[in-house]
Amino acid sequence: PRDLVPIVLAPLLYTDNSELSMDKLLSDSSNMSHSMIDGNIEDVIAELGMSFTSSVETCRGHIAQLVGRELKSSDMAHVLIIMLKSRAIEYWLESDAAKEKAQDSQHMPSPWSIENLMQAAKELNPKLNWSEVLFELDHAEFCIKDKYGLNLVIQTIRLGLQNQAFYPDRFPVDHIYRHWKHTEAQMSLITQILKNPDIFCFADHSFHPVAIDFLKAQPETENKEISSWRSLELIETLLYLAERGHCQEVQELLKFPIQHCPDVLVLGILQTPPSPFRFRQELLASLIPTFLGNHPNSAIILHHAW
């Protein structure tokens, strides 16, 4: 009988649309020990792959069984982390379905149904704090490797926030800028954001802008990739990460503003709080020669630098 089948298996064995009762979900979940949950969640999600979000009912059942209690922000973050760690993206990218969807430039293809994932979480906890989900991604195992992983995280949180009547410009971007305990995790997130402004762009959200009104030649305002570098928070966060052992990764990211908007970058560095660490001073020293030549903003930049 269906009532006796474990929740994780029920959606796979019974493909009809009948709903699993919440009493059944929570009853079965509460009987699982936390050690069992913690030990099995990664294996279960990895084994299920794309079928983890095949329907709202399926996804809700899996999450309820795996979490074993009322869904919390840390639980939802853990689910996202494990989804990122699975090889579902790799397998899916090799499929014909992925290649077909990749032709649609209007939508980011994904091996998972983000809508089903968000709706399942909502049904398990309508009051889930999605801002806290982003905060809880500060975890040793959190790592975004590509645009598909970034899309999973950003779109899931966006949909969750929209369901709670949050406006797009109120995305909790401050949780991205703050000093993370796990800097490798933060570095992976910021790297993919800067590589994929079509998924998430710092320029679309609140920030303290680099003062550039006095520049003779203004940077391109329509270019989102350039506009992102007007965020003082972004520049300050990257300087912080460089000082925490991520010099090489930060230098790689800085290649874009050094080439396309060095004046904005120099002013941004000058407008961040002074730091005793060498990276900031060495970066400024490496940028100044750019303005000893025929740059339209040379005089203004050199004046501010000195």
pLDDT, residue 118, reads 94
CB neighbour list of residue 303: distance below 8 Å, 6 or more residues apart:
none
For the purposes of burial, counting CB atoms within 10 Å of the CB of 209, is it exposed (0-12), middle (13-18) or buried (19 or more)? middle
Does the pLDDT at position 107 exceed 50? yes
Calpha distance 111→194 (Å, rounded): 22
Query: Rounded mean pLDDT of the chain?
Result: 84
Mean pLDDT calculated for residue range 221-238: 94
State the Cα–Cα distance between residues 264 and 258, nearest whole angstrom: 9
Lowest mean pLDDT among 14-18, 50-54, 87-91, 158-162: 14-18
Band (pLDDT 50/70/90 cuts) for residue 133 is very high
pLDDT at 92 over 90: no
Statement: residue 105 has pLDDT above 70? no
Which residues is 209 bridged to in the sheet?
A: 231
Of 39 and 300, the structure prediction assigns the larger pLDDT to 300
pLDDT digits (tens, 9 = 90+) for 16-36: 554 545 554 444 444 443 433
pLDDT at 272 over 80: yes
* 3-state DSSP assignment of residue 172: coil
Query: Dihedral of CA 46/51/54/59: which sign?
Result: negative
pLDDT category at 263 given cuts 50, 70, 90 is: very high
Q: How far apart are CA 251 and CA 268, in angstroms?
A: 15
3-state secondary structure of 209: strand
At 169-214, the pLDDT tens digits run 689 999 999 999 999 999 999 999 999 999 999 999 999 999 999 9
Look at residue 87 in the predicted model and tell me its pLDDT.
72
Q: Tell me which H or E stretch contains 101.
A: helix 96-101
Q: What distance in Å separates the CA atoms of residue 15 and residue 188, rounded to the nearest whole number?
A: 38
Residue type present at position 80? L
Report the pLDDT value the prediction gives residue 247, as an integer from 0 to 100.
97
21 vs 150, higher pLDDT: 150
Mean predicted confidence (pLDDT) in 56-63? 92
Least confident window among 38-42, 44-48, 120-124, 263-267: 38-42
Contact 164, 130 (CB under 8 A): yes
Percent of the chain predicted with pLDDT > 70 = 78
Query: Which of the residue ranges 9-18, 218-227, 252-261, 290-299 has the most confident prediction, judged by mean pLDDT?
Result: 252-261
Does residue 155 have a pLDDT over 60? yes
User: Above 70 in pLDDT, residue 135?
Assistant: yes
Are the C-beta atoms of residues 207 and 233 closer than 8 Å to each other? yes
Beta carbons of 91 and 129 less than 8 angstroms apart? no
212: closest CA among 241, 195, 237, 235?
A: 235
Would you state the pLDDT for residue 199?
A: 95
pTM over the 0.85 mark:
no
Give dist(CA 35, CA 107) in Å, integer. Answer: 39
Looking at residue 35, its pLDDT comes to 38
Look at residue 205 in the predicted model and tell me its pLDDT: 94
